[in-house]
C-alpha cells in the first residue's frame, strides 16, 4: 500500500479521472478527501467505505477562493494534514476563436487555471509547515501542442504547466514536489458519448491503437504521489499512448 496513512485531496473527484484516482488512492491506503460541485458525494464515498477505505466529501467550486479555503480547512480539521494534492478539476467550453464568448473564456480559465492556483495557494502552507508534500496538476497534451477549437482550454492547460515548473522551483527547497500529468485521449464516460467513428479515429491516431483508460491517468498520479518518485520534480508526464511522438 504505497500511500498508507497519507491524506490526499482530489478536486473534481466525483467523475472520470478524479473518481478513478480516488478509488486507486484509497486502495493504496490513502485517506481520501474529494471535492466537486455536487451537494453530496454519496455513491463514491459509499464505494470507498464499502471497500474498507476512508473518504470524506466536500462540495466546493475551485474557481472561488473563499470556498477553497473553507474546503482545505475542513480537510485539515478532519484528517489533521494534507500530504497530497491532486488538482484534477477541469471543464471545457469549446469554440473557435471567432465564436468563443467572453463567458466561455472566463469560465474555463477560472476553473482550470484559477482553480489550480486557489487550491495550491490554500494547501501549500500546510505542506510547508510539515516540510513535505506532493502536488500533482492535471494538464493536457493540448497544453503542449494546442488544439483546434480550444483556445481557452489549451491556454489554461499550458498555464498549468508553467505554474507547475515555477512551483517546483519555489517549493522544492521546502520539501514539496510539484509535477503535472498531460493526458491524451482518455475514454471517460463523457468521451464515450461521442460518435463511434470519432472514437475510432482517436484510437487510430494513437500508436498503441487504443484510447487511454481513466486508470492509466490514475496510475500516473499514483506514481508521482508515491515515494518511488521522490526525486522527480517539475516534470510533465504525458499519458497519451505515444500520440505526441
Task: Name the residues annotated as catalytic.
Answer: 153
Reading the block at residue 108, the C-alpha cell is 474555463
**3 Cβ contact list (under 8 Å, min separation 6):** 25, 28, 29, 30, 84, 222, 225, 226
Q: Which residue has the cell 467505505?
A: 49
Angle between helices 114-130 and 65-79 (to 10 degrees): 30
Contact 10, 18 (CB under 8 A): yes
Reading the block at residue 139, the C-alpha cell is 494538464
Q: How far is CA 152 from CA 12, 99, 143, 205, in A?
A: 19, 12, 10, 24
Angle between helices 16-27 and 42-50 (to 10 degrees): 20
Amino acid at each position: 500500500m504505497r500511500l498508507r496513512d497519507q491524506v490526499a485531496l482530489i478536486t473534481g473527484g466525483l467523475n472520470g479521472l478524479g473518481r478513478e484516482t480516488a478509488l486507486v488512492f484509497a486502495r493504496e491506503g490513502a485517506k481520501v478527501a474529494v471535492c466537486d460541485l455536487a451537494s453530496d458525494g454519496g455513491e463514491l464515498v459509499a464505494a470507498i467505505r464499502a471497500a474498507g477505505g476512508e473518504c470524506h466529501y466536500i462540495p466546493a467550486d475551485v474557481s472561488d477562493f473563499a470556498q477553497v479555503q473553507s474546503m482545505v480547512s475542513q480537510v485539515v480539521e478532519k484528517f489533521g494534514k494534507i500530504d497530497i494534492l491532486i488538482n484534477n478539476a477541469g471543464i471545457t467550453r469549446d469554440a473557435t476563436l471567432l465564436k468563443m464568448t467572453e463567458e466561455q473564456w472566463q469560465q474555463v480559465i477560472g476553473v482550470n487555471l484559477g482553480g489550480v492556483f486557489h487550491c495550491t495557494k490554500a494547501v501549500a502552507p500546510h505542506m510547508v509547515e510539515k516540510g513535505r508534500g506532493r502536488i500533482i496538476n492535471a494538464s493536457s497534451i493540448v497544453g503542449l501542442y494546442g488544439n483546434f477549437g480550444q483556445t481557452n482550454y489549451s491556454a489554461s492547460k499550458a498555464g498549468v504547466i508553467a505554474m507547475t515548473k515555477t512551483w517546483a522551483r519555489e517549493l522544492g527547497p521546502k520539501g514539496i514536489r510539484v509535477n503535472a500529468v498531460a493526458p491524451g485521449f482518455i475514454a471517460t464516460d463523457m468521451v464515450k458519448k461521442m460518435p463511434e467513428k470519432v472514437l475510432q479515429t482517436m484510437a487510430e491516431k494513437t500508436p498503441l491503437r487504443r484510447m487511454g483508460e481513466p486508470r492509466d491517468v490514475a496510475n500516473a498520479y499514483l506514481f508521482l504521489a508515491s515515494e518511488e518518485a521522490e526525486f522527480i520534480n517539475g516534470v510533465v508526464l504525458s499519458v497519451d499512448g505515444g500520440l505526441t511522438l
